[in-house]
Structure 1
């Protein structure tokens, strides 16, 4: 890495940054699914030179936006912060297709060792209309940070100067000060007794594949009203409903799925205005009981999650080690609720002489199925990103439709029991999931590779993990072959 001003700082990585660094390195050569993007449509007489200068000022303001990620000699990655770095700002041909430019930017790979990992592309669509494409590697920033970057951009463009921002390194120092032992004990207790992962696409390998997306909208007024009356958040309602969808799909009553948390500790002053990657992915364990009422069930889900709030900074790999069963889940639920100063943004647009006509986004995930929830004043936007080859469109559609039905069922009868969900509404596993044409032995081998330490068989007080069961099966197979067993021969096993 070279930069005009030399090296300003060397910083550790946050837990999620470490995970993304590993996944990006592991998936090198394939499509980079860890790219986030926003496309801003700007109306007004725009000065491209001023906008370029504003983009440079944003990068100068937040040192972590200049980061390069490299391993030390011992292999542990660090982020290197150059003192100065030219902004990557390009201007496309006037009238270029915005979608094609955005797609080309998404497909242009980032080298984590060569910053900047944030690019800006400006497209002139008319005398007073432009599109600005912001493309970044997810290791740099999260969805909460995106509107902060836009706010700073418009402020600098208008000739203003935002107040000093607290640096991302302060958050990394906060993480280092936390009691790791206490956090690990909390997660160990929360996950105790889990015997196997909750997987909707067992046997599929993680791969860098561009996901497909479908969307649904749900009326929110009644749901929000009932939730408030019971002291529940909308996020809890969606999480509880999604756990029931997973129960129907998998036939299990001890469910785990991933959830994205903001990761911004209230104890860190000014954290709401900091730019960087704060979010984390943590497991949500839910154990519904038929005798539960909707309200009682959701209150328990909310209380169990609240008990872990102080420990949400712990990396997912560390959390999963506490459970002792390897991978815990292969689906992710993302509840997007970012604070936005709409009045302040309108004032900024007036000062800058630009109007933000529209904003569209593209986020990053590597899970076979990711659900996004965007609450609005009148509707909840539900989205499902699914990875072809792991989850098919019919399954994704079913999950979204069933989720919407169950959220509505809570609002209709919050005191009703879960057992009252009519049997006709429950979908059998074989009709809800698309089963690939693979042999049972292949599926078993894939499960052994994915969760070798999970319990496969239990008899009384004795149990066998998948790895132990495979070892016994292979020993028996060798004995049978040595005694003449082979293809098309009938063998009695007692």
Structure 2
């Protein structure tokens, strides 16, 4: 019989960890919350030093030595082991030609993802190296989201690089003392859940309907597609100016725009969507340097009312600050306080304030490092059919991930057009009424109608644009419509 591992600590799961464990057990084949970073290493790589650096990271942070016990227990617990090795896989593919190398790497990434993680038995972070040339490697760094969020991944990678570099001189770097994740769990267990329940029940009271992006089906097919675009530096600065005038953040400005977009496609003036928040309590000492899962998903409610856009942003910022004290409250309990229950929202927005890839690439390229990290990509899968990631910088980078079985490709691609028009409108006049902000102007709407109708069966010409809308609405009376000055653009026109 093998020797039982020594236990260092045992404590409950955070609310978000409980949710991720539940989804993992509910659907064993799902790869929701599987995180996979892939990047190129250019330069000399010492395999032994690389392994020792990984070992040092595991020793430094207890979350990587944690197993999630859920079998034969009354309530799941996370158990921190004193030791938990993780062997770096190394594969030399330098004998293959470039095309074969790329094919091998793609297959390896897929197989690594298909393998997934057993939350009770596996180390929940693993690293593999594919050698393509003497000074060219591909690193595949995978972990389950239950052990850490994106902010933490940036911390871990930067420290890993520092450790690797210092070990060249036979020493470990001088790093700040680690604050254990269990300290956060203790803080979390002390929070007043009844007070949080009352807050969210009040916030979501009288909500009558969910606001969602139009769907072509309720059944996902598991195939994710992306719609990616960048807002110019000039327009990004203008949006930042609006945020400053409202005493708000750029994140709040984007949330206001997104809420209005949902209102237009859902034909309402009250919209709710999910927002992923950092979840790090400001009153917990050392929380900024802790490594673990802190994020939570909470609802954002946008009611345009009689507000101008600037007033809406200001109001939304105030509501965001009020919600911070209760952002730890589990989403399933928040949904229970809502009249809409599980139908409260069906997609999420992530505003990534500190992009891990940018920080990691900057660290690796600074100073006398043996190698540089390049071409960093991170694949993240959630249990939502649609997620929107917003990455700020000199320019605003926006990426929509959506399941092609649920959402229409054409409509999702047109979200870029809608957002660009809305941004242009509010930049031109931040004081304009929020209820008057349209997805398209009349000219853009006519062009969109013409473009899509060219591929359809020819109909007798309508005497007026209004007549065309009326006829098309009669053909699809239950499809949502997109508002713009002078009429409606039915979703049927986008099929």
Using structure 2 for the length normalisation, give the TM-score: 0.80
Deviations 1:159-207 (A, max 9, x none): 2332221011111111111111111111111111112333336796686
**8 A contact 1:293–1:416 mirrored in 2:** yes
Residue 342 of structure 1: CA displacement? 5.3
Residue 4 of structure 1: CA displacement? 6.5
Write the mapping of 1:216-295 to structure 2, written as runs, cut at 5 A: 216-219=229-232, 220-289=236-305, 291-295=306-310
| Residues 404 and 101 of structure 1, relative CA distance in 2, 3 Å threshold | farther
Deviations 1:225-261 (A, max 9, x none): 2322332211011100001111111112221100000
CA distance in 2, matches of 1:201, 1:25: 30
CA distance in 2, matches of 1:257, 1:211: 20
**8 A contact 2:351–2:391 mirrored in 1:** yes
Provide the secondary structure at the position in 2 that maps to 1:311.
coil
**8 A contact 1:121–1:133 mirrored in 2:** yes
CA distance in 2, matches of 1:250, 1:133: 41
Write the mapping of 1:59-458 to structure 2, written as runs, cut at 5 A: 59-71=58-70, 73=72, 75-95=74-94, 96-97=101-102, 98-158=105-165, 159=167, 160-161=172-173, 162-200=175-213, 209-219=222-232, 220-289=236-305, 291-327=306-342, 328-338=344-354, 346=363, 350-377=367-394, 379-421=395-437, 425=441
CA distance in 2, matches of 1:40, 1:89: 15
**8 A contact 2:10–2:79 mirrored in 1:** yes
Residue 140 of structure 1: CA displacement? 1.1
Provide the secondary structure at the position in 1 that maps to 2:325.
helix
Gaps of 5+ in 1: 432-443, 445-494
Residue 374 of structure 1: CA displacement? 0.5
Residue 137 of structure 1: CA displacement? 1.0
Using structure 1 for the length normalisation, give the TM-score: 0.80
Aligned residues: 429
CA distance in 2, matches of 1:266, 1:208: 40
Residue 283 of structure 1: CA displacement? 0.5
RMSD: 2.8
Deviates more, 1:416-425 or 1:54-63: 416-425
| Residues 359 and 69 of structure 1, relative CA distance in 2, 3 Å threshold | same
Deviations 1:115-161 (A, max 9, x none): 20111011122222222111111111111111111112112212233
Provide the secondary structure at the position in 2 that maps to 1:323.
coil
**8 A contact 1:8–1:83 mirrored in 2:** yes
| Residues 117 and 74 of structure 1, relative CA distance in 2, 3 Å threshold | closer
CA distance in 1, matches of 2:275, 2:14: 17
CA distance in 2, matches of 1:3, 1:271: 35
CA distance in 2, matches of 1:6, 1:28: 28
CA distance in 1, matches of 2:86, 2:201: 44
CA distance in 2, matches of 1:353, 1:417: 56
Gaps of 5+ in 2: 95-100, 450-477, 479-495
CA distance in 1, matches of 2:29, 2:114: 11
**8 A contact 2:51–2:87 mirrored in 1:** no
**8 A contact 1:58–1:149 mirrored in 2:** yes
